[in-house]
Amino acid sequence: MTTPIDLLQGTLDVLVLKALSWGPQHGHAVSRLIRATTNGTFDVRDGSLYTSLHRLEERGWVESEWGHSDQGKRAKFYVLTTRGRQQLRNELASWRRYADAVSLMLSANQAPS
């Protein structure tokens, strides 16, 4: 197993938005989703994850509501708002441009003439 990578705050926010794009989740489920989907690449403390959720709520990108978990316990569920969905789309687009550019450079075989 390789050493987990530290995550920048902004990147964590995007991951959370993405996790919520599949439907309302409580915090624990978001944590599990991120860890499972990224094969544990990132070293995400759950504490930072909750801070991120509340930050996103403050910005109006997600909303929260108390509900009941599968086990029937009271849990706080987060759901993307319209603005949050828009934000995720923007982040995705810019991420793709960024990743494409980096990979173009890194995979280049020779200097352009």
Partner 1 sequence: MTAGRERVWRRYLRVWRRNPREDVAEEVQFHLEIEIEELVAGGLSRADARALALAQFGDVSQAISECTASDQRRLRRYHWAQLLDAMRHEVKYILRGFTRRPSFTLTVIATLALGVGANAAVFSIVDRVFLRPPAAVEEPTELRRLYLLRGTMPGAGSRFGLPQAHAIATQVGTRFPTTIYDGGDRTLIELAGNTTRIVNADWVTPNFFRVLGVRVAAGRDFDDADLRFGEAPGSVIISWNFWQREFAGDRTAIGKTVRVRGQPMTIVGVAPRAFRGIDVDAADIWVPLNGSRSVTPGIRAPRYEDRGTSAWQLVSRVPAGESEQELPILAREAFRVELREHLSARPKSRWARDTAAIVEAGSIVAARGPAKLSQAMSIVALLAGVAALVLVIATANVGNLLLGRAIQRKRELAVRLALGMSRTRLGAQLVLESAVLGVLAAVAATVTAIWVGGALRSLLFPRTEWAGDPVDLRIALFAASIGIAGGVIAGLVPAFELLRSELNGALKSSAREGGGQRSRVRAALVAVQSALALVLLVGTGLFARSLQNIRNIHLGYDIDRVITVSPRDSIAEARLPVLAASARSLPGVLSVALTGMAPLEGRYGAVLGTVFTPEGDTLRTLGPVGAYMVVEPAYLATVGTRILRGRDLIESDRRGSAPVIVIGEEMARRVWPGQDPLGQCLRWPKRDAPCYTVVGVAEDVHGFAVVEKASPVFYVTLEQSPDRLTGDVEVGGMVVRVAGDPAPIVRQLRTALRSGNAPDVDEPVALMADVLEPQYRPWQLGARLFFGFAAIALILAMLGLYSVLAYVVTLRRHELGMRLALGATRATLMRLVVGDGLRHVAIGAGVGALIVMIAARLVSSLLYEVSPRDPAVIAVATLVLLLSACGAALLPARRAAGVDPMAALRED
CB 92 within 8 A of CB 67: no
**Binding of partner 1 by 85 (CB under 8 A):** no
**Please, which residue, 79 or 102, has the CB nearer to partner 1?**
79
Type of residue found at 60: G
Nearer Cβ to partner 1, position 74 or 107?
74
CA distance linking residue 84 with residue 57, whole number of Å? 9
Q: Considering only the stretches 8-16, 57-65, 89-97, 99-107, report the one whose residues sit in contact with partner 1 under the rule CB under 8 A.
A: 57-65
57 sits near partner 1 (criterion: CB under 8 A): yes
Distance CA 54, CA 110 (A): 46
Q: Does the footprint of partner 1 cover residue 36 (CB under 8 A)?
A: no
10 Å CB burial of residue 24 (0-12, 13-18, 19+) is middle
Q: Given the rule CB under 8 A, which residues bind partner 1?
A: 26-28, 31, 45-48, 50-51, 53-55, 57-58, 63-66, 69, 71, 73-76
